[in-house]
Amino acid sequence: MILIGLDDTDTIDTPGTNQLAKVIIRELSDSWSCVRLVRHQLFFDPRVPYTSKNGSASIELLPIGDACSEDLIRRCESVMRDWYKVGSDPGLCVSSDVPTCVTEFAMKCKTSLVDQEEAYRTASAEGIFLKGLGGTNGGVIGALAAIGLAVTGDDGRVVVHGLWPDDLSGVVSAELIRQRGIEIVEEHSGQPVDDTLVDVGKHLRPNRRGGRTVLFVRRDDIGEQGLLRAVKLV
């Protein structure tokens, strides 16, 4: 297993980090199989120079054959340099091992201001690859935070789930969702639900909670009686 962290790769009028992550997944698909792509929410504060809502992304991959991390890093850098937009400040982080201190750093990034020096110092102490690829290089903070949050299995919204296509929207069968290894849980009670239809909205975006991929739902009494609606959580 290897984790990739990405952050601050776009500007307000260009495709976002999740789209770049999908390009990287496709580029690496001959050597690495995608387990999941997750969007992580970091400190949402006007003092932070984010693009829109200060989210970063993690990609978890499994090797195919003799895939090596050095080649993966080279290819990620190439894609990100080609993708680079003036005004963005991209950062890339890659590691197969994420120690506790990185998760502690990541948790700090969710609640307070953190500078690049602390990110580089944390990564260097653990031998983790962390590199800025343009602009101010400010994305290194969120890139390192992304892998620290991903390894907990308890943070973020899942954008890509294994090899399943991102093709579900609107009202779909709950069974179809469960077939993809996604649990369906009532938001307030935490209990699993067995209803047959769920309105997932524009896209299916479950969450990572307790090492599981979970779609939280809420019963909507307006409109179709008993319809379950997906809840968009960070």
Rounded to 5°, the CA angle 226-228-229 comes to 140
- The residues, any chain, with a CB within 8 Å of residue 74's CB and separated by 6 or more, are none
212-220 and 183-186 beta bridge pairing: parallel
In order, the DSSP letters of 4-34 are EEEE----TTS--HHHHHHHHHHHTTTTEEE
Domains within the chain, CATH numbers bracketed:
2-157 (3.30.70.2200), 167-230 (no CATH)
**Residue 148 Cα to chain centre, angstroms:** 11
Per-residue pLDDT of the chain (234 residues; tens, 9 = 90+): 999 999 987 676 777 899 999 999 999 999 999 999 999 999 866 666 555 667 899 999 999 999 999 999 999 999 999 999 888 899 999 999 999 999 999 999 999 999 999 999 999 999 999 999 999 999 999 999 999 999 999 999 999 999 888 889 999 999 999 999 999 999 988 899 877 899 999 999 999 999 999 999 998 755 455 689 999 888
3-state helix, strand, coil in the chain (%, to 5): 25, 30, 45
CA dist 71 and 92 (Å) reads: 14
pLDDT of residue 224: 54
User: What is the distance between the terminal CA atoms of the chain, rounded to a whole angstrom?
Assistant: 24
Assigned token pair, 2: 């290897």
Residue recorded with tokens 């990739």: 4
CA dist 136 and 154 (Å) reads: 30
Rounded to 5°, the CA angle 66-78-23 comes to 80
pLDDT of residue 131: 98
